[in-house]
Structure 1
Amino acid sequence: MNSTGAEICEELPHAETRDIVLPNQVDYAPQIAVDVSKVVYFSREPNLSLGGRLNFTKFETERIDECIDFIKTLLVARRPKNQEMQEKIVIKATGGGSYKFYDIFVEKLGDVKIEKEDEMDCLITGLNFLISEIPYEVFTYSDNDPMHFEDTISSNMFPYMLVNIGSGVSILKVTSHDKFERISGTSLGGGTLWGLLTLLTGATSFDG
């Protein structure tokens, strides 16, 4: 198959095609990253020896079967012909879903290697990458300049505070590329908001 990641993404429901361009990426990245039903994967730029994209796709958790089918489609489209390279295909899984759905992923995806990673380590590593390498993906806020999107910050990025809002909220103090601590948080977060909005509006999905 010669479909690109973006083409596959556009063909499936509940998928998004937002991505991050990596124009100088030399090495091919065979890994696929999964956080419950959110998927990140690398695709090459057509007809170019350098560069590619990080593609982001999400499915509602109740549609985990569709998420797995999407990953299977990706694996078929990008599976190397060389057996030695084929063994390098890895799925990096994080979050509670890496444990809850692990057996289902193993059963349905066959001999693909699944590696479970620490959620907070991945979160900080990914954010540091965005801050230092991807222009205009983060912004600063102050009374004098309410919102200013930053070009890449190569130095003086530490310390900073990260407020991570998921089902709950965690507040992290990040002091270096590999050092951080959780300083506060609450169990009230996106899950609570979603429950209240469902009761108030009758909505049955994030899309409406």
Structure 2
Amino acid sequence: MPAAPKKKSGCLRLLLIITGCSLGALILMAVIGALVSPSPQTEQGPATPVTRPEKRPPATVQAPAESPPAPSLPEQVEELARKEFGDRFERVFVTQDTTGTWNIIINVFDENPGAASLQRSIIRLAALCHPEGLKVGQFEVAAWSNFVDGLGNVERKGLVRAHLRPEVAPKVNWKNEVMIEFHAAFATEFVHPAFKQKWADSDIL
């Protein structure tokens, strides 16, 4: 009778061994399946290639455009004379001596000269050519015109030449040029005989 319990104990041990082997086999199969099965990343297909940003040359900074140089005094005088005399303007001569004093000579040609209009133009231009601080030693205007002789021949001759009186130049108020009397401020070096009386009688204000 005492031998029966030993047989039951042996069967139970065998059952445990079989169960343990089965569990071990299942675990081993699960591990092998995990290693063999493709990863989720592989199932999604090949990865999209990474594009590198295109290299662009650095932006060039443009230097500010240089402003044109200021016109010289001779260029300024010529521009003023052209505006004042228009088509009558011919040329200017502007020089500077060793003391820094400027000498200005303006040549014009007047086909139909009028004494008063020519004198007024000379005064206006002289006022523009005498800005404050500019040393002007000589200011002169020479005008030419066409004259017809007794035989009907047309010839270009000097009409008048006048210059600013140096003794009164420092006293002239150029800011009030409309009140300047021509013969008080300018001396006439030459005037054509046919134009002399008109020139002398004109003393515009």
TM-score by length of structure 2 reads: 0.28
TM-score by length of structure 1 reads: 0.28
Higher strand share: 1
Higher helix share: 2
